[in-house]
Amino acid sequence: MAATPSGRQVGDPAIPNRVPAVFPAGWRFPAGAHATFAPHAIVASNNRLAAEVGAEVMKQGGNAVDAAVATGFALAVTFPEAGNLGGGGYMVIRMADGRTAALDYRETAPLAATRDMYVGANGKLTGESVIGPKASGVPGAVAGMIEAHRKYGVLPISRVLAPALRLASEGFLVDSTLFRSLSGENYRIGGFTGKSVFFPNGVPLPIGSRLVQPQLARTIRLITDSGSTVFYRGSIADSIAAEMQRSGGLITKEDLARYRPIWRRPIHSSYRGYSLISMPPSSSGGTTVTELLNILEAYGRPSPFGTAERIHALASASQRAFIDRNSKLGDPGFVKIPLSTLTSKAYAKAIAKTISHDHADPTTRLLSNVREGNETTHYSVVDRFGNAVATTTTLNDLYGSGVFVSGAGFFLNDEMDDFTASPGIPNMFGLIQGAANSIAPGKRMLSAMSPTIVLDPKGNLLLVTGARGGPRIISATSQIILDVIDHRMSLADAMSAPRIHHQSLPDSIRVETGGVEPAVLARLREMGHHVYELSGIASAASIMRVRGGYDAMDDPRSHGGAVGF
């Protein structure tokens, strides 16, 4: 099972002319690190145990979709901060025969949800969109994963779910990552019944203890036997509805019975001769990554990595793409989205013309022009046939709303906070969004999740990527693609490279501490940018095709791994 380190430096991958990266002196990750190499098939995930499950299923003859589903269920067991049955996500698929697909299994607002449900009598937000039973959307994860398997899987579902079932019923050892993750979250989990599972003696499960989850094992066994019906119309639906009634939440059995995952047409776009396959709305991810890259392509030749010129171009393109994201995107079943315009080269060209080469434009000014006219997890899989799957799934916050479905053994999301709770008031990610993303019964809340597959100019698979980190997902995903295509970095360098983020409002560039040379910071401020340092921008998990196989890597900002054979 263990994959061997590639042992190869830059300059060897299938894509010729990889160039050794040079990072700022104060940057915390080294350039020239190694990814994990596997000749046939590989999974990269924020959680190593789950990546092992994906690889195991492919060794048994499963394809990349089987492996993605197996990894997804395993994450719900071994990575409860983000892996989930009570959340939702997106999956972008490219089969080796060229077929592509995008599955939307995002949560929906319960039927009893109303536009202003989180606005208190004083006009301020109540905070109920973040913790507690009213924060949860109707979960889509189980329906989505079972549907992906139904359409593309080759192994029986019992084989695909067996490893997750084993991990839940026999348990696994709590490591320092899980211990640390739980330690900060008593305030969220402690008020609900998950407390007895994760804080058995009032303290987080100790490192080295075995976490056995019999309730969750029972849930996975039921899904193995009866598919998603048991979750949406059977005994698990009963447990969810009962939990909601007990604690004052909104999700009913009718909400669950109505839930459907949706196959959508993936966004197909290009960047300097490479092709991208990405997620359309209800996620903003593919649209915004596409718009951002199109603007940069129109802006002109890329300046070298890490220069003020490059960061200015990147930030200004991102600022403009996020203005569109925050004002125009929402659930396409509820709002009309100008998708073909937003993803067109002509539109990007017009926007690129508004970017000056030497000064920043305040978002407020760009907004007036418009009027005229954390926690998640990503995993990437490639199988021995060349099928590729990029999946991002989330409960939104770590451990979602904190609400734990008694008897069924899993957390419910707090995805309702991704809606515009009140125009002009930022959500937990500081996003200020518009009416297109307002709350309505049955509607999907806008996401930033950006599972993306990139093909080289010959049409061969190059990159499978995506990230966690709220709106910073869009930045990390775009920049990994740009680092590979424009700066010719190896996968390890692209994953380790410092990132920046601009989401239009707040009107500033966020940079990772030590990731930008002091002289470059000074120059950006001279250009009129507000620049702030952050400890980390998102966390990705990616695979890149190289000569003889694949390099894969979890983000050095995370604690997962890549496993292949």
For ligand DON, which residue of 84, 129, 380, 447 counts as binding (CB under 6 A)?
Answer: 447
Specify the stretch interacting with ligand DON by CB under 6 A; choose among 228-236, 365-373, 444-452, 485-493. 444-452
394 touching ligand DON, by CB under 6 A: yes
For ligand DON, the closer of residues 469 and 498 by Cβ is: 469
For ligand DON, which residue of 70, 113, 448, 482 counts as binding (CB under 6 A)?
Answer: 448
515 touching ligand DON, by CB under 6 A: no
For ligand DON, which residue of 38, 91, 223, 449 counts as binding (CB under 6 A)?
Answer: 449
For ligand DON, the closer of residues 144 and 302 by Cβ is: 144
Q: Indicate which residue of 376, 377, 394, 452 is catalytic.
A: 376
465 touching ligand DON, by CB under 6 A: no
376 touching ligand DON, by CB under 6 A: yes
Distance, CA of 265 to chain centre: 19
469 touching ligand DON, by CB under 6 A: yes
Residue 339 to residues 73, 266, 287, 445, 484: CA-CA distances in angstroms? Answer: 32, 12, 7, 17, 26
For ligand DON, the closer of residues 468 and 545 by Cβ is: 468
Residue 261 to residues 83, 148, 229, 408, 442: CA-CA distances in angstroms? Answer: 18, 9, 13, 21, 12
Cα 300 from Cα 357, distance rounded (Å): 11
Specify the stretch interacting with ligand DON by CB under 6 A; choose among 144-152, 468-476, 479-487, 490-498. 468-476
Give 3-state DSSP helix, strand, coil % of the chain, rounded to 5: 35, 20, 45
For ligand DON, which residue of 239, 374, 380, 496 counts as binding (CB under 6 A)?
Answer: 374
SS3 string, 418-477, reads: HCECCCCCCCCCCCCCCHHHECCCCCECCECCCCEEEECCCCCEEEEECEECCCHHHHHH
Q: Residues 460, 473: contact at Cβ < 8 Å?
A: no
C-beta nearest to ligand DON: residue:
374
Give the chain's length. Answer: 565
For ligand DON, the closer of residues 414 and 551 by Cβ is: 414
With a CB cutoff of 8 Å and minimum separation 6, the contacts of 362 are 507, 528
For ligand DON, which residue of 375, 493, 512, 551 counts as binding (CB under 6 A)?
Answer: 375
Q: Residues 404, 189: contact at Cβ < 8 Å?
A: yes
Residue 470 beta carbon to ligand DON: minimum distance, rounded to whole angstroms: 4
For ligand DON, which residue of 108, 181, 247, 396 counts as binding (CB under 6 A)?
Answer: 396
For ligand DON, the closer of residues 375 and 483 by Cβ is: 375
Q: Which token pair is 290?
A: 């596409």
Residue 306 beta carbon to ligand DON: minimum distance, rounded to whole angstroms: 25
Residue 309 beta carbon to ligand DON: minimum distance, rounded to whole angstroms: 30
With a CB cutoff of 8 Å and minimum separation 6, the contacts of 365 are none
Cα 6 from Cα 226, distance rounded (Å): 42
Does 465 participate in catalysis according to the annotation?
no
Cα 523 from Cα 541, distance rounded (Å): 32
Three-state SS at 527 = coil
Active site residues: 376
Task: Kindly list the residues in this chain that would bind ligand DON in the complex (CB under 6 A).
Answer: 374-376, 394, 396, 415, 418, 447-449, 468-470, 473
